[in-house]
Structure 1
């Protein structure tokens, strides 16, 4: 489970550093090359909920193993791609495979751990997700320092096949349920794909300077209209693909809102911090990379502690405190003095990682456990959907900030970090409301 989620999450960001090399070798523009990343993210996002619904019907184990097998095999196609369209198609297949893993990941964690130790399992899972998100560029830098971009895909093949082999031996089957799921609707799948694709592409058009703002706004509106129709179709179903039944549970809905705000803040910081360190403070790539590792290291340290606190203290308060600590770290980074020492930067990074880890484990634990057992797949799919949607929105917000303050002289980065801190505080406020809702 740890290997699988690490691979699927890391692959969403591992290619960022290689995009210039890919564009040069495959004779593509930077705008075209970005679709190597976008294809993976879109395919993952649009299929999380359909595959989670399929997991409720066919078994989480089966969806997970097929997804990981597809991820490994499509990595071979990506490694051998000799044209941009072929690489984009392979990346879309990779994203589809990763969606199979991410959609049922937390549902399987719920099956694997006994209820009195589920908090520790969720903490381990959250730690791996947070660390993998931040580690992607660092892993890529290490590989690209002595090999071509093709090897970023090559490493997935043996690891993916190993995970499939281990998973066949170890992953549990779904427990028997008296609840009969609703009929699987391909129309709902199409509406889900269309809604998220329109919203993602619309946001992408708004977030790049070469994009078309009018087209982006039209696509976003079209996505929202499709979403209204889609949700209305789902409203009266017993086990809807878009889990409106779970969103009627106040604690679940507040946890989802907290997750969106937290991941929006995380992505804002994740994207602007390299600019702050490299262009504003004049750090080398090696120095910046080492300083950024303070974030995941702190997450690794705090996540197990957060797991032990689950059940002893209300998750709403743990999440709120975590977001306040996270926001404090972001504000301190925004106010970083000129010529700050490495230690001065590192402890601020560590504060961000510690706060986020304290929030994420209790929040995900609440999302999963507030859903009935037979709806674990839907809850698991929503965990991944909230993460990817929040991160997409964070990237769009950062693009808007840079469109207004387009020179990387420190002002744009400072404002972006302040906005991220505001988003984190809003997530903390939403988290605190769960304490009353849970009574």
Structure 2
């Protein structure tokens, strides 16, 4: 996936340029939160057991194929490759549908649907928990398909799905009878009652058509969760549903209902169908996203967050490239932890939390002190930005809270 990342970034850039001309309601907050959530997801993958699980997933698939495969054929067999493509896609459909229809699995997917805008950058809103689930069906598939074939189709499936999030692609005619398209995926991300829990497909839409989960896009789509998160903090985006599940568990009066609250749909409650009452979901209205997304902050704060977000992203790429293969390197853990804390603080600034300024000032001063003996030209440049930013933060600490809102 690293090989295609530059192309992803290029298309994200092109879409954002188009937004400047065609998007009526730009939201820097929402875009920042998508980037930040992606950084947090990757950081937790590396700091926790995500990398180990990924290695276990691949090693387990290799072990199955090398020792217990049910079929023996050349790894470049065209028919086997086509069947593998179909199996990966139906496995994705089943996994995707389960994450929507089982509350405890929704915990590992709700992040992806939390964006109020539908765009390519929203792809970055991924859960760090996904890798803890996919091995359960990928390893058994090693009984039939060689690992190189299986993981090729898995990566190809993921790359294809990136482009499903392009909002500027219209309906594509007969192609949509078989293949999943941006139009079909817009439906999947929409919170319109008629679109809830529909169009789960990855590359193919035929599974939805066969299994009764297909809906055509025939009315304007409104995006985001039915109950918005109301936060730009990527940590809260990742974990808020744990708190929601806890509250729902606590509200139940019997043990049966408590466990049903985990194993049935997120919208379930005692007396309702398994997935809840669709009729209880409010109909969205045009312009309501302005009440669901925090109002914009002052331009100076927008610029500040963008600059420091770029610095954090650069740090993540540098240390992933330089240290990711060295699992014992403590510098990796330290820098990733620092990047994670940095991006979380920036999210809190977007949430207009007054305490975030003091924490951000401490972060800046720590970075200056930590790099003080480093004489590299790039480090010196970044350190000068941190020094200037410290002065800016001091002025923000001294301002009244309402000053952080955009001025009319």
Give the structure-1-normalised TM-score: 0.29
- Relative contact order, CA 8 A, sep 6+: which one is greater? 1
Q: Which has the higher helix share?
A: 1
Give the structure-2-normalised TM-score: 0.30
